[in-house]
Structure 1
């Protein structure tokens, strides 16, 4: 039997609220299958299960808030029969105790009333009940869509939407305050625990922008790539070579990651930010990265992310773009050990190829954990990113 637990969906998450179960006892699940939706202060996150098996028992009802690491459900491993464990039996229907009939000596179930043998307590999550009260929805009239008819937040919202009432009990201002508190807690922990050091390098972007312009000119608008994907790919490829910046500090030691999953800092329309991962950045071509980036930004701002995207980043990139400032020095997301920042592109007078001219440059910065690396290696890492951006054709592969 395997326990499926509440995952850590980012360094600023200590707990989450189970918003929806997408499986029921007896269902077969595969690796990577989305089995639940968990609400955090930043988004409703689709939680994936990374074990194969059969759902035995759902241990946490919809609407309950639990800490990271709390068992949410049990899974029966392949080959393990549901009948071998009580977890496969309906959790809310106790099996009648056995009694002995004196006249015949036969073992029989104790007599019960007909309806009690099949009925169960109707679950209404506390969050759904509070929301229903706020929105003036009669929770007893709401049809539950959760396991065993449980009423979820989404059910209440659906009824409220039908009645043309507000969808959420919490105002955008409430959510913004909660998010700022979560971010503050995570960043305070980062600065308290991680001995940061910072480096910066100026990257001349003329070659990369000229190459990207020619590449995009031969493609329809829908297939063109943004400069951001060049930066992501350069970081991904450099992190493959300098593994001490791609991984985690756990149990007082550095653990290198097997692949480069770049967390992308995305600002949200209501304020705050998230940094979900694009997986296998170093192995993807620019078209794949552009598609992934577009999809990730859209889903992040819609509040619909997956648990692997929130828990898997091995290094983070923050890119301020054209509307940002010249330089950004980021704070590392624990347990990661590095963050790369890119400022706003700007025209500057530079010495290029032995001459002086005006060039478009970007300030690239590195925030790194001194427990896992030192300044010399950090400088080489930034230099590798710079070199790759001077040879953009290498990023296409």
Structure 2
């Protein structure tokens, strides 16, 4: 018998609001199954189960604000006999005072699995709203079409529909503001606790751009490969050769990762940033990397990420894309130990084939944790990265 608790989805998360359950007592779950939707500053996140078993009890109601580590459900392990009701373990006492339920009608039942209240269904196709906001609006008989959303892209969130809540103040607090506060707090802790050092190198990417131009000629936009996929894959492969940049620093020690799961920094529409991770990029093809990037970015901007995507990252890659600044030095996202910042391609005079010719170049900057690695390891990463993008056909 085990407690399923509110997971930490990053160093910038202290609590989350349970938006809806995707399971009911008696359901059998497998490792990796989504069991709940939780609203955080980053949007609605599907929370996955990390053990197989049977759902014995749901300990939290939708709309409840839960701190990280607070009990959410009881899951009976595979093969374990069902206990008597009075034998179900209670949550740890010190966590109980931290659970702060949002105001809710006591008689309003939680929606059954797979169902959406009628009021929410009527507007589901026309109004952008979080799952929790839809459920609460249905309980109140509120037309979401009359509510001004304060979430990403104007989406209606739970605070917008609560009676006496932010929607009645005339000045709704934006989820973006909360996200910015959380990011600022996490990055401040990172700079205060991690001894950062930086190493940069400018590299020729003209060959990679020429290869992509030939490959994408006559191909629909949805099937084209972007430079970002080449850079992400090169970073993942280079990290295999510089293992001290790929892993986590926890409990006072570095723990190298078995896979390279690069977090992809995604700018959200309307502002804000998330860094969901792609699993085992070195095992993918270049086409597979591009497809995974498209899917991840689309779901990040739609607020449909999974909890594992926010926690499995082993190194983060942040790129300015096709246009923007020439150099970017980032802040490490703990417990990771490195972040790779990639500036936008610049046209520069460059020595190529013994001649000075115009070439597109990028500047790659490694931000690394000096407790784990030094300049030599960062230089090795940059050398491997440069070799890989100079032979893009091998990617």
Deviates more, 1:23-32 or 1:325-334: 23-32
SS of residue paired to 1:66 = strand
Match for residue 111 of structure 2 among 142, 145, 148: 145
1:156 correspondence with 2:153: no
Distance apart, 1:15 and its partner CA: 1.3
Residues 319-344 of structure 1 show CA distances to partners (whole Å, capped at 9, x for unaligned) of 11123211100000000000001111
What TM-score, normalized by structure 1, do the two folds share? 0.82
Between the aligned partners of 1:214 and 1:88, the Cα distance in structure 2 is 63
Q: Does the aligned pair in 2 maintain the 1:62–1:146 contact within 8 Å?
A: no
Q: Which residue of 1 aligns with 2:7?
A: 7
Q: Which residue of 1 aligns with 2:359?
A: 359
Residues 221-260 of structure 1 show CA distances to partners (whole Å, capped at 9, x for unaligned) of 3211111000010011111221111100011110011111
Q: Which residue of 1 aligns with 2:331?
A: 331
Between the aligned partners of 1:142 and 1:86, the Cα distance in structure 2 is 25
Q: Does the aligned pair in 1 maintain the 2:350–2:356 contact within 8 Å?
A: yes
Q: Does the aligned pair in 2 maintain the 1:144–1:150 contact within 8 Å?
A: no
Q: Does the aligned pair in 2 maintain the 1:4–1:72 contact within 8 Å?
A: yes
Report how many aligned residue pairs link the two structures.
Answer: 351
Q: Does the aligned pair in 2 maintain the 1:74–1:87 contact within 8 Å?
A: no
CA distance change for structure 1 residues 294 and 161 in 2, over 3 Å: closer, same or farther? farther
Between the aligned partners of 1:293 and 1:146, the Cα distance in structure 2 is 34
SS of residue paired to 2:80 = coil
SS of residue paired to 1:65 = strand
Q: Which residue of 2 aligns with 1:74?
A: 74
Q: Which residue of 1 aligns with 2:102?
A: 127
- Computing the radius of gyration over CA atoms, which structure comes out larger, 1 or 2? 1
Distance apart, 1:358 and its partner CA: 1.0
1:283 correspondence with 2:283: yes
SS of residue paired to 1:298 = helix
Q: Which residue of 2 aligns with 1:310?
A: 310
- Runs of 5+ consecutive residues of structure 2 not aligned to the other structure: 90-99, 118-131, 149-155, 161-165
Residues 195-224 of structure 1 show CA distances to partners (whole Å, capped at 9, x for unaligned) of 000010111011111111222226443211
CA distance change for structure 1 residues 172 and 165 in 2, over 3 Å: closer, same or farther? closer
SS of residue paired to 1:51 = coil
Between the aligned partners of 1:128 and 1:87, the Cα distance in structure 2 is 30
Structure 1 stretches of 4+ with a deviation exceeding 6 A read 140-143
Q: Which residue of 2 aligns with 1:260?
A: 260
Between the aligned partners of 1:229 and 1:2, the Cα distance in structure 2 is 40
Deviates more, 1:174-183 or 1:55-64: 55-64
Distance apart, 1:154 and its partner CA: 2.8
Alignment of 1:17-56 (within 5 A): 17-56=17-56
CA distance change for structure 1 residues 342 and 153 in 2, over 3 Å: closer, same or farther? same
Between the aligned partners of 1:214 and 1:393, the Cα distance in structure 2 is 11
Between the aligned partners of 1:70 and 1:150, the Cα distance in structure 2 is 26
SS of residue paired to 1:50 = coil
Residues 154-209 of structure 1 show CA distances to partners (whole Å, capped at 9, x for unaligned) of 31235434664443415775212111110110000000010000010111011111
- RMSD over aligned CA atoms reads 2.5
Distance apart, 1:388 and its partner CA: 0.2
